Amino acid sequence: MARALEPKEPDQVGARLLEASVRNSYDPHLDIDWDAPLAVGKAYMPFERVSLYGTDLWRGLSEEQRIELSKHEIASVAGVGLWFEIILMQLLVRYAYDLDPTSPHAQYALTEVGDETRHSIMFAKAIARFGAPVYGPGRTIHELGRIYKTFAGGPSMFAAVLVAEETTDRLQRSTMDNPDMQPLIRMVNRIHVVEEARHVRYAREEVIRAVPKLNRAQLEFHRIATAVVAFAVIDSLINPKVYLSVGIDPREGRAAALANPNFHETRRWMAEKVMEFLTDVGMVGGPSKAILRRAHLLR
């Protein structure tokens, strides 16, 4: 077994992550200048990651419209990210319910809840600053999320959290060091990337510890649960209403995005690292792979 996939002691992991959190955490109220003017002529995410990039609809958009659509798509990602963070907070609080609160393992779970409360406020403030709607994942997924956050548990819970965190993380990393991008979104993404790196570590260690304890039937169950939630999350990130911002009918825009090979590639690129990890650890395999391929998370 590769060293990185050897289970580690939970309290050791927790203690290291707590130390890092004390050293490097942000407060969106203090660390972001919300009054700074938005830069004119700068995109909000790289054009090649916008869902319509490369389509006929894209070719029909002016430079200003392309920037506008990039703003609404990143606002949608932030809104759906925020929705998932609120789910995650509830999952983590339920998880901590059974832990010894004096242990570093439990205290890091609670610290992560604290991080996510600040992130959700940060994303909400960014959406408001952009003057974009809070798009969210749509009515049906919103309601299914209510059931999910009440009952999810075990390794598929942490694996699905990883898919949500690592896919958005990859997109955010591609903007944070790019001087052509809007400064406000670069700062928001930089803060998020720093703190999410710890969340990813925590969730990966949870999955590494839990998978070897599953029997065959449990493993297949958790694989499928992971794939279904991964599909729902990735498919919700771009709310079809974003296309209204550039005068495109939501149904037409959504159909063009779903048929766009460049957008499929973007999804696989976003999921590349987390799929590699989940495959190595055994959480991607068997019938669940068909679901992940349909979601364009796997080739």
Structure tokens at 156: 């598929």
Which residues are bridge partners to 43 per DSSP? 181
CB of 114 vs Fe ion, minimal distance in Å:
11
Does residue 105 interact with Fe ion by CB under 5 A? no
Nearest to 160 by CA among 268, 52, 283: 283
Burial of 50 (0-12, 13-18, 19+ CB in 10 A): buried
- Nearer residue to Fe ion within complex by CB, 137 or 253: 137
| Alpha-carbon distances, residue 258 vs 51, 53, 139, 294 (angstroms) | 8, 12, 20, 11
Does residue 204 interact with Fe ion by CB under 5 A? no
Contacts of 128 (CB under 8 A, 6+ apart): none
CB of 69 vs Fe ion, minimal distance in Å:
24
CB of 291 vs Fe ion, minimal distance in Å:
23
Does residue 71 interact with Fe ion by CB under 5 A? no
CB of 159 vs Fe ion, minimal distance in Å:
14
- Nearer residue to Fe ion within complex by CB, 94 or 289: 94
- Nearer residue to Fe ion within complex by CB, 196 or 206: 196
Helix (H) or strand (E) holding 265: helix 261-281
List the one residue from 71, 72, 119, 254 that touches Fe ion (CB under 5 A): 119
CB of 81 vs Fe ion, minimal distance in Å:
7
Position of tokens 């997924």?
Answer: 141
281, 5 contact by CB (below 8 A): yes
Residues 142-201, interacting with Fe ion (CB under 5 A):
165, 196, 199
Length of the chain as a residue count = 299
CB of 286 vs Fe ion, minimal distance in Å:
28
- Nearer residue to Fe ion within complex by CB, 199 or 254: 199
> How big is the site for Fe ion, counted in residues (CB under 5 A)?
4
- Nearer residue to Fe ion within complex by CB, 23 or 216: 23
Phi-psi category of 131—alpha, beta or left, where left has phi over 0 and alpha has psi -120 to 50? left
- What residues make contact with Fe ion under the rule CB under 5 A? 119, 165, 196, 199
